[in-house]
């Protein structure tokens, strides 16, 4: 088990990343808090020895994505959130980017991870493939299709490369 000091350091260092990934997938604060706590509990109990900060961050990203997917596998949960709840999330965002947020959130779930990891965390396709455990070509395909879908939703006002 990891020490309290190590755990608090990890929370301070990676909590925003975990929180954003939750935001990409989940539609309410209760689920977000549930996953947030689950991820760090797994971290505390894990005996994985991290080679570097990047390794540690990649591990937390993978655990968060998997935890979100597990939560969303519950059919009823994924189908009982109202539209009001969905638009509650972007209210914390800058007003100028609400349309971008809605466009991202309207993407199928499998595209949202790669969009976030590529455009915000600046991971390359090979790095993303290692983190999410998918083929590099699959990641390229997911990125291309997501760009295409975002372009369709947001128009040509953005640079998509």
Partner 1 sequence: MNDTFKKLFSPIQAEEALKDRTKEFLAEKTQRYIGVRVGKRKHCLYAAVCACLLLMLLGGRWVYFTPITAISIDINPSIEMGINRFGQVVSVDGFNEEGRELSSTLNVKYKNYTYAIEQILNDNNIAALLSENEIMTITVIGPDGQQSAKILSGVEACMTERGNAYCYFATSEEVAAAHESGLSCGKYRAFLELRLLDPDITPEMVRDMTMREIRELIDSLSDGGQIDTSSFDNRGNGHHGHGGGHGNRRRNGRAEQ
Query: Can you tell me which of 26, 40, 112, 128 binds partner 1, judged by CB under 8 A?
Result: 40
83 binds partner 1 (CB under 8 A): no
Q: Strand, coil or helix: what is 94? A: coil
**CA atoms of 100 and 78, how far apart (whole Å):** 22
Q: Which two tokens stand for residue 97?
A: 């980017």
Query: Can you tell me which of 9, 55, 120, 126 binds partner 1, judged by CB under 8 A?
Result: 120
Question: What percent of the residues of the chain are helix, what percent strand, and what percent coil, each to the nearest 5?
Answer: 80, 0, 20
106 binds partner 1 (CB under 8 A): no
**CA atoms of 121 and 132, how far apart (whole Å):** 14
Residues engaged in binding partner 1 (CB under 8 A): 1, 3-4, 7-8, 11-12, 15-16, 18-20, 23, 32-33, 36-37, 40-41, 44-45, 92-94, 96-97, 100-101, 104, 115-116, 119-120, 122, 147, 150, 158-161
């Amino acid at each position: 088990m990891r020490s309290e000091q190590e755990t608090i350091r990890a929370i301070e260092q990676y909590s925003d990343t975990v929180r954003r990934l939750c935001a990409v997938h989940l539609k309410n604060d209760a689920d977000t808090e549930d996953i947030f706590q689950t991820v760090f509990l797994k971290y505390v109990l894990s005996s994985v020895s991290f080679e570097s900060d990047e390794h540690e961050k990649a591990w937390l990203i993978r655990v968060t994505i998997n935890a979100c997917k597990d939560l969303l596998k519950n059919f009823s949960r994924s189908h009982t959130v109202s539209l009001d709840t969905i638009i509650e999330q972007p209210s914390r965002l800058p007003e100028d980017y609400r349309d971008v947020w809605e466009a991202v959130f309207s993407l199928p779930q499998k595209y949202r991870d790669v969009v976030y990891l590529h455009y915000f965390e600046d991971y390359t396709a090979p790095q993303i493939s290692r983190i999410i455990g998918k083929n590099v070509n699959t990641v390229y395909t997911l990125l291309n299709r997501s760009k295409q879908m975002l372009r369709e939703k947001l128009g040509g006002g953005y640079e998509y490369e």
